[in-house]
Amino acid sequence: MTDIPDVADRFSGAIDEVALGKGDYVAGGAKGMPFLSFENPVKRRPLIAGEVFDTLDGYPQLAADMFDGRQKDPVEWALMWKEIGADMICVRLVSTDPSRGGTPPEESAALVKRISDATKLPIIVSGCGVMDLDIPVFTAVAEAVRDSRLILSKADEDDYKRLASVAIANDHIVVGFANLDVNLSKQMNILLTDFGVDRRNMLTDPLMAALGMGLDYSYSVQERIRIAALMGDSMLQIPMLCDCTGAWDVGDAVSDEDPSLGDPRFRATWWEAITALAAVISGADIVVMRGPGAADMLMGYCDELRGEI
């Protein structure tokens, strides 16, 4: 019988390791393509972040029903995520938008502090999406939580200096975002580095498009980033964060109009779990999840993929 040729890649590069929160959670470190034990001795599981909102206004009922009422208090909600086994919490501060309540920055900061203290987990902080509104919030949050390295999400090419400054001033982590483009992701990492952000304070978000919403683009962009990083492109060796919650915006995932599509609770869960599986198999080091079922499935699958079950 002919021997199978050795197909393991021996890469010269590796993904950076970034310590999160109190330093007890680390993202990145891979030395080979995801989950291939024959070339990647680092068997770190991608970290899974459970998503929590500061208001339920606009949050899908389908997802809300999965949290037993505990979603009504963001701290309880975060604790539930911890019980499920999440490694991190992603706090979305959207009520800071005046049209959604206009919560003052100090209140948002206090909330994040409470969640951080209660869960002791690393926290991803994301804003309402309007940088002018978000910056004061990020500033307040960054100053309120000093005992845990937060992940501030996210800075893009057009407006990254403000958020980067907040991160630098308080030794937090800034997420550089680029829209489905390897070169842009690299450019973003360069811009942040040039601005003075330390590599151990950076994550990259290449935009994880959900299943059926352009997942293919993301999947390939992420594979390319990972390959280039392993081949030695240091400016792409920043650990990757993929937000998979976009799955819940897909009509096919959540629609309850056509009964032949099956129970939307299960369908949405699968939708997100598959999106996340594609994310981790193409190189995600951190994934943000909305549904507890999907997160739980993903945790199991990741553990199994890295040979820990």
Partner 1 sequence: MPTAIEFFKLLPKTNCKECGQPTCLAFAMLLSNQKATIDLCPHVASDAKETLEEASAPPVRTVKVGDKDLGGETVLYRHERRFVNPTAYALTASDTLSSDALKERVDYIASLRYDRVGMMFEADMVCLRNNSGDAGTFASKAAELAGIWSKGIVLETRDPAAAEAAATAIKGRRPLIYGADASNLDAMIGAAKAAGCPLGLVCADEKDAVALTERCAAAGFKDLVLDLGASNLKETLERQTVARRAAVRSRFKPLGYPLMNRVGSGEYAVATAVVSTLKYGSLVVFDDLKSYEALPLFTLRQNIYTDPQVPIQVKQDLYPIGDPDEHSPIMFTTNFSLTYFTVRADIEKSKIPVWLQIVNTEGLSVLTAYSAGKFEPERVAEAFEESGVLSKSDGPVIIPGLVTRMSGKLQEIIGRKVIVGTNDSRDIPKHLRSVTGQ
Partner 2 sequence: MDTDKIAELYPSVPREDIDYLTESVTGADVAGLLRFAKEGSDRAVDLAKRMCAAIDGGTVLTFPETGYGLPTVCAWKGIDTMTASDAIAFLDSLPEPGCSELADGFVAGENAMYAAEIIESITYLDAPEGRAGFVPDRVLRALGLPFVDETIPGAVAFLGGLEDPDAVKRMARDFQGKGMVGLASGDYPAQFAGAGAKLGLDRMFYDVGCFTGTVNAINFDVRAALTFGNISPGDREGLDAYLKKRPKVIIVQTGPIGRLDAALAFAALMHHASIVTGCDLPEVPGALRVCKDPLDMIQVGIEERGIVVKLQPIELPVAYAPSFEGEVVRKPDTYVEAGGNRSVSYEVLLSKKESEVEDGKVTLIGKDLDEMPEGSVTPLALIVEVYGPTMQEDLESVLERRFHSSINFAEGVWHTGQRDNNWVRVSKTSAAAGFRLKDIGTILIHKIKEEFGKVVTRVQATVITDPEEIERRRPEAQKAYDARDERMRGLVDDKVDVFYTCSMCQSFAPEHICIIAPERIGLCGAINWLDAKAGFELDPRGPNQPVDKGAVIDAPKGEWDGVNASVRKETMGRLERMCMYSLMDAPMTSCGCFEVIVAMTVDMQAVVLVDREFTGMTPVGMKFSSLAGSIGGGRQTPGFMGIGKRYITSKRFIEAEGGIARIAWMPRHLKEAVGPELKKRCEEIGMPDLFDKIADETVTDEAEGLMAYMAEVGHPALTMDPLL
CB of 176 to partner 2, least distance (A): 14
Q: Choose which of 72, 216, 231, 232 interacts with partner 1 (CB under 8 A).
A: 216
Q: Nearer Cβ to partner 2, position 132 or 257?
A: 132
Give yes or no for residue 200 binding partner 2 (CB under 8 A): no
Report if residue 251 touches partner 1, rule: CB under 8 A: yes
Site string for partner 1, 256-295 (x = CB under 8 A): ----xxxxx-xx--xx-xx--xx--x--------------
Is residue 168 a contact point for partner 2 (CB under 8 A)? Answer: yes
If one asks whether residue 135 binds partner 2 (CB under 8 A), the answer comes out as: yes
Q: Which residue has the tokens 């492109």?
A: 233
Binding mask 232-271 for partner 2 (x = CB under 8 A): ---x------------------------------------
DSSP string, the chain: -PPPPP-----S----EEEEBTTTEEEE---SSTT-TTT----PPPEEEEEEES--TT--HHHHGGGTTGGGSHHHHHHHHHHHT-SEEEEE--TTSGGGT---HHHHHHHHHHHHHHH-S-EEEE--S-HHHHHHHHHHHHHH--SSB-EEEEEBTTB-HHHHHHHHHHT-EEEEE-SS-HHHHHHHHHHHHHHT--GGGEEEE---PPTTTTHHHHHHHHHHHHHHHHTT-GGG-S-BEEE-GGGGG-HHHH--S-GGG--HHHHHHHHHHHHHHHHHHHT-SEEEES-HHHHHHHHHHHHHHTT--
Q: Is 10 in the site for partner 1 (CB under 8 A)?
A: no
Contacts (CB under 8 A) with partner 1, residues 130-189 = none
Q: Does 209 bind partner 1 (CB under 8 A)?
A: yes
CB 119 within 8 Å of CB 89 = yes
Q: How far apart are CB 178 and partner 1 at their closest, in Å?
A: 15
Min separation Cβ 286 and partner 2, Å: 23
Give the nearer residue to partner 2 in terms of CB position, either 237 or 269.
Answer: 237
Give exposure, 39-65, as e/b (b: 16+ Cβ within 10 Å): bbeeebbbbbbbbbbbbeeebbebbee
Number of residues lying near partner 2 (CB under 8 A): 24
**Binding residue for partner 2, selected from 92, 154, 224, 267, defined by CB under 8 A:** 224
Q: Is 183 near partner 2 (CB under 8 A)? A: yes
By the rule CB under 8 A, 169 interacts with partner 2: yes
Per-residue burial over 154-191, b if 16 or more Cβ lie within 10 Å, else e, is: bbbeeebeebbbbbbebebbbbbbbebebebbbebbeb
For residue 210, the minimal CB distance to partner 2 (Å) is 20
When CB distances are held under 5 to 8 angstroms depending on the partner's kind, the choice from partner 1, partner 2, none that residue 216 binds is: partner 1
* Contact footprint for partner 2 (CB under 8 A): 135, 139, 161-162, 164-166, 168-171, 181-184, 187, 190, 195-196, 224, 227-228, 231, 235
Q: Write out the residues near partner 1 by the rule CB under 8 A.
A: 1-2, 4-5, 7, 33, 35-38, 129, 209, 211-217, 219-220, 223-224, 227, 249-253, 260-264, 266-267, 270-271, 273-274, 277-278, 281, 297, 301, 304-307, 309
